[in-house]
Amino acid sequence: MSRSARVIWDDALTSYNFGPSHPLAPVRVELTMALARELGVLDKVEMSGCGPASDDELAMLHDRGYIEAVKRVSVSGRPDLAVGLGTTDNPAFAGVHEASALIAGASLAAARSVWEGAAEHAVNVAGGLHHAMPAAASGFCVYNDPALAIAWLLRQGVGRVAYVDVDVHHGDGVQAVFYDDPRVLTISLHESPRTLFPGTGFPEETGAAGTAVNVALPAGTGDSGWLRAFHAVVPLLLHEFRPEILVTQHGCDSHALDPLANLMLSVDGQRAAYAALHRLAHETAGGRWIATGGGGYELVQVVPRVWTHLIAELSGHPVDPATPTGEGWRQFVRERTGETPPLTMTDGRNPEFRDLSGGYDPADPIDRAVMATRNAVFPLHGLDPMP
Ligand SMILES: [Zn+2]
Ligand SMILES: [Zn+2]
């Protein structure tokens, strides 16, 4: 299915580190790359390095004054609350500019690889920092690498970019940057803002032309409900919008074990979502697909397996869920974290779902969420909201 897939990686990407007690611990991407290597997944992709985003590249969407403020914090290591650095969520640390610019540079490298045709698909598992705003850090995010990748594509003359965000949190930063830009379709599926940060992402947030799409799912939603919602909204809109390129954010904090949120997906459900996005990249965007990581705070049991599945999916050689994780990786996990590693690549779930063709149930909170989204945006795309 895939002509070529590229993984953008540099060991220095793990320097994005808010300190030992912060949930976004870089060991999660370190363990991901180790597991992908152990299972031979990295042998089936092209590995490519990256450099930091330049100030001019960051300024495609970030205010110059903000970039300068982040640089000052980077030197001093001291807080600057005016730009959101030095809070519990976003602690100030020395080197924060360099670490954040490198993550942005990795997503720009992924965008360049795909748009210039060097690779059909490309992924930056360290990226997906979707909460960063033009002039403020937010939600563990300093520079908004997926929005920068999209901004770069627009500068190359791309006329239509679709962004699908499956992180458990609303992709508010990306939505905000392109809210009034009809060239960019942003779709975010997330836990309802009534129960989770950042408190936005209601279906009524539709952008100027229906190009902001929000599916706000009730706490407790599991694989079958999540996949039902995804398939009731995302494929129809992508087929209608016909993007020239698809950008996806793969936060895996929708997993049942994630400590920060309240959805109940499994590794198997998340793997099914990634496979669906891969198919949609080929069906609607000529195969041009840029993927990033995102949230994900169960550092050992969830993130490494899910994002190894993501890289494998990009490569066109998916990893069978029953595959053992491998003794070398398990030993590395024990030494590096002191935790007991998962033994296989599955949670043992079968990610089945019913689509909306059988009608919807007005008493079901998931169906109500789906219909709220369809009613808000489908007419703006010439689509009938009724199933
Ligand atoms: Zn492919
Ligand atoms: Zn998240």
SS3 content of the chain, % helix, strand, coil (to 5): 40, 15, 45
The ligand that comes nearest to the alpha carbon of residue 258 is 2
- 42 Cα to the center of ligand 1, angstroms: 16
Confidence of residue 3 (pLDDT cuts 50, 70, 90): confident
**pLDDT per position as a tens digit, 90-138:** 999 999 999 999 999 999 999 999 999 999 999 999 999 999 999 999 9
- 384 Cα to the center of ligand 2, angstroms: 31
292 found inside a domain: yes
**pLDDT per position as a tens digit, 349-364:** 999 999 999 999 999 9
The ligand that comes nearest to the alpha carbon of residue 288 is 1
54 found inside a domain: no
For strands 184-191 and 5-8, give the pairing: unpaired
Output the CA–CA distances (angstroms, integers) from residue 387 to 235, 354, 359, 360, 371, in the order listed: 14, 13, 6, 7, 9
Tokens of 292: 């990033």
- 2 Cα to the center of ligand 1, angstroms: 3
71 found inside a domain: no
- 198 Cα to the center of ligand 2, angstroms: 9
Residue type, 23: P
The ligand that comes nearest to the alpha carbon of residue 260 is 2
170 is catalytic: no
154 found inside a domain: yes
Tell me the sheet residues that pair with 346: none
Contact 150, 57 (CB under 8 A): no
Whether residue 1 has pLDDT greater than 60 = no
Query: Domain containing 245: what range?
Result: 5-49+97-381
92 found inside a domain: no
64 found inside a domain: no
CATH number at residue 11: 3.40.800.20
355 found inside a domain: yes
The ligand that comes nearest to the alpha carbon of residue 121 is 1
**pLDDT per position as a tens digit, 261-275:** 999 999 999 999 999
- 290 Cα to the center of ligand 1, angstroms: 11
**pLDDT per position as a tens digit, 361-370:** 999 999 999 9
Catalytic residue among 131, 169, 190, 250: 131
Confidence at residue 208, expressed as pLDDT on a 0 to 100 scale: 83
Whether residue 2 has pLDDT greater than 70 = no
- 29 Cα to the center of ligand 1, angstroms: 23
How much is the pTM? 0.98
Total tally of structural domains belonging to the chain: 1
